[in-house]
């Protein structure tokens, strides 16, 4: 049961501004009429909303001013859209939607228009039309007419939002046919039942193939089982890839996904290839939100993503690194020098169009495959944590490909955050989860942020002594994205 706990807000009704004194001239009467007709509406800048559903309570502050600035810049220059905030507004309990609508109508109306554009890519047209109907209904309300409606038209990007939506709807409607896809999955004993589990993958386009590359010398006998799980509608192809020993050490070398990805491209470059190829791990949810993967599959099944050439599906970002070993591997792999640090997402999972794959000649991929197949000794030094059971267990050549797959498939060295990439469909531009710091560091109320506390007063000698003598923390552990999913949501789409 919904229990509104508090809704701290400040709302001003439109003010009808009239003449200061009795009007005796025609000009004064005209000005008075002008002011009375148009009026003036002012709105609060921030809303704090708090409510409970059963024992679970929510508390959030929403800045209408920031939302307005961001959505204006999105429609004007393709800047980061306030997509997360729009979802928040449009899915609030109705009692709070009404409060926001009366308090700042432009915020609620534009949130619905933004979501309508996003839904055009991932849902049937009726979904977006529903959001448009809601926006129209809000603007038609008696309480919103007059200066409020004029304010939406003049102070908010209403016209660009409507124009963009209509143009996109018309363009996508002309080509709504399913797009064929291939899954490329390196596997080492992982359970692939998730592929046929509709609680994880909600749907697959009609033309779907699954290429499983067995990297541990077993598992091919599961092909029939996996095909049966799909009901015979999806073709499953198994192949075996063996990671050779390092030429120098003679020990087995872990090549992760790179040999499977490159072997697949080399083998199928001139053969039939899906319109879009998904390069994924055997358990993709370790590093990819399944909700994002499902959105992409929805769009491909609807045929709305024909212009999508590359989409990284990782959740966390990689910290860029720079060293001669990486630079040399990049040069050998791509045939050119590295132009700057490699900024990208973790962890080698992405969707690439067939046309983008074929923009690079097959010989390039063959050269990259030779680089990672064990032919070239690994001479890179290990500096910092490498998550290896023994030095050299993880091939550096393959590890560095994790930083450069986006360049291999046609992107520049600096891959933007999805939220900041204007080339991507709006549906995939949700702001990433970033840092979360305690409240004393979030605003100018904090002692150091406000300047009340001083680094100089803290003192260099005191600080360096603490740094040098501090007891080490417990051993560092590698944590996957999938490990952070709340237990109560296991089995559900994230």
**Where do the domains of the chain lie, and which CATH numbers do they carry?**
46-174 (no CATH), 181-383+391-437 (3.90.550)
- Categorise residue 273: left if φ over 0, alpha if ψ from -120 to 50, beta otherwise: beta
What separation in angstroms does the CA of 388 have from each of 143, 242, 254, 256, 378?
64, 19, 9, 12, 14
Q: How far is residue 254 CA from its own chain's centroid?
A: 29
In whole angstroms, give the CA distance from residue 187 to residue 280: 10
Mean pLDDT by 10 residues, the chain (494 residues): 41 34 31 38 79 85 94 98 95 90 95 97 96 96 92 96 98 92 93 90 93 78 69 84 68 76 95 95 93 96 97 94 90 94 96 98 94 74 61 72 97 97 97 69 74 86 88 66 51 36
Crossing angle between the packed helical segments 64-77 and 105-122, to the nearest 10 degrees: 50
* pLDDT in the model for residue 241: 82
Q: What are phi and psi of 22, to 5 degrees?
A: -65, 135
* pLDDT in the model for residue 493: 35
* pLDDT in the model for residue 373: 80
In whole angstroms, give the CA distance from residue 137 to residue 332: 59
The answer to whether the CB of 293 falls within 8 A of the CB of 169 is: no
Angle 355-360-365 from CA coordinates, rounded to 5°: 115
In whole angstroms, give the CA distance from residue 8 to residue 61: 10
Alpha helices in 410-472 (DSSP H): 455-458, 460-469
As a residue count, the chain comes to 494
Of 185, 201, 192, give the one whose Cα is nearest residue 227.
192
Of 169, 67, 170, give the one whose Cα is nearest residue 119.
169
pTM: 0.84
In whole angstroms, give the CA distance from residue 330 to residue 77: 33
Per-residue tokens: 3: 């229990």
Per-residue tokens: 192: 């692939």
DSSP-derived pairing of the beta strands 310-312 and 350-353: antiparallel
In whole angstroms, give the CA distance from residue 216 to residue 463: 50
* pLDDT in the model for residue 112: 97
In whole angstroms, give the CA distance from residue 208 to residue 353: 14
The answer to whether the CB of 80 falls within 8 A of the CB of 431 is: yes
> Taking the CA atoms of the chain, what radius of gyration do you get in angstroms?
28
């Amino acid at each position: 049961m919904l229990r509104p706990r508090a809704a701290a807000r400040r709302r001003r009704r439109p003010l009808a501004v009239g003449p200061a004194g009795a009007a005796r001239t025609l000009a004064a009467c005209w000005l008075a009429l002008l002011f009375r007709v148009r009026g003036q509406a002012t709105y609060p800048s921030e809303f704090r909303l708090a409510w409970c559903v059963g024992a679970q309570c929510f508390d959030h502050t929403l800045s209408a001013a920031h939302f307005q600035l961001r959505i204006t810049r999105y429609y004007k220059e393709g800047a980061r859209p306030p997509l997360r905030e729009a979802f928040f507004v449009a899915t609030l309990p109705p009692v709070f939607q009404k409060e926001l609508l009366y308090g700042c109508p432009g915020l609620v109306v534009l949130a619905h228009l933004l979501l309508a554009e996003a839904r055009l890519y991932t849902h049937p047209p009726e979904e977006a039309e529903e959001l448009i109907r809601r926006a129209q209904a809000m603007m038609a309300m008696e309480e919103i007419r007059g200066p409020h409606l004029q304010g939406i038209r003049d102070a908010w990007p209403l016209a660009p939002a409507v124009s963009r939506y209509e143009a996109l709807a018309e363009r996508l409607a002309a080509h709504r046919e399913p797009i064929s896809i291939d899954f490329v999955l390196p596997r080492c004993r992982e359970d692939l039942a998730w592929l046929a589990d509709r609680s994880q993958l909600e749907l697959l386009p009609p033309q779907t193939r699954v290429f499983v590359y067995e990297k541990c010398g077993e598992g091919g006998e599961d092909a029939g089982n996996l095909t049966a799980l799909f009901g015979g509608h999806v073709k499953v192809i198994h192949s075996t890839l063996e990671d050779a020993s390092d030429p120098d050490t003679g020990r087995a070398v872990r090549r992760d996904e790179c040999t499977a990805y490159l072997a697949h491209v080399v083998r199928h470059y001139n053969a039939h290839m899906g319109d879009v190829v998904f390069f994924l791990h055997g358990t993709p949810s370790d590093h990819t939100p399944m909700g994002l993967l499902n959105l992409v599959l929805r769009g491909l099944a609807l045929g709305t993503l024909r212009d999508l050439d590359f989409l990284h599906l990782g959740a966390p970002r990689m910290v860029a690194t720079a060293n001669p070993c990486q630079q040399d591997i990049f040069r050998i792999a791509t045939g050119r020098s590295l132009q700057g640090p490699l900024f990208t997402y973790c962890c080698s999972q992405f969707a690439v169009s067939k046309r983008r794959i074929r923009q690079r000649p097959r010989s390039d991929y063959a050269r990259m495959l030779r680089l990672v197949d064990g032919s070239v000794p690994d001479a890179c030094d290990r500096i910092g944590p490498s998550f290896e059971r023994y030095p050299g267990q993880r091939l550096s050549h393959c590890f560095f490909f994790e930083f450069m797959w986006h360049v291999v498939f046609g992107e520049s060295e600096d891959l933007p955050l999805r939220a900041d990439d204007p080339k991507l469909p709006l549906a995939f531009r949700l702001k990433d989860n970033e840092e979360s710091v305690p409240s004393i560091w979030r605003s100018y109320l904090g002692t150091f942020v406000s300047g009340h506390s001083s680094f100089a007063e803290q003192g260099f000698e005191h600080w360096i002594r603490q740094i040098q003598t501090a007891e080490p923390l417990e051993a560092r552990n590698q944590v996957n994205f999938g490990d952070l999913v709340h237990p109560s949501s296991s089995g559900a789409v994230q």
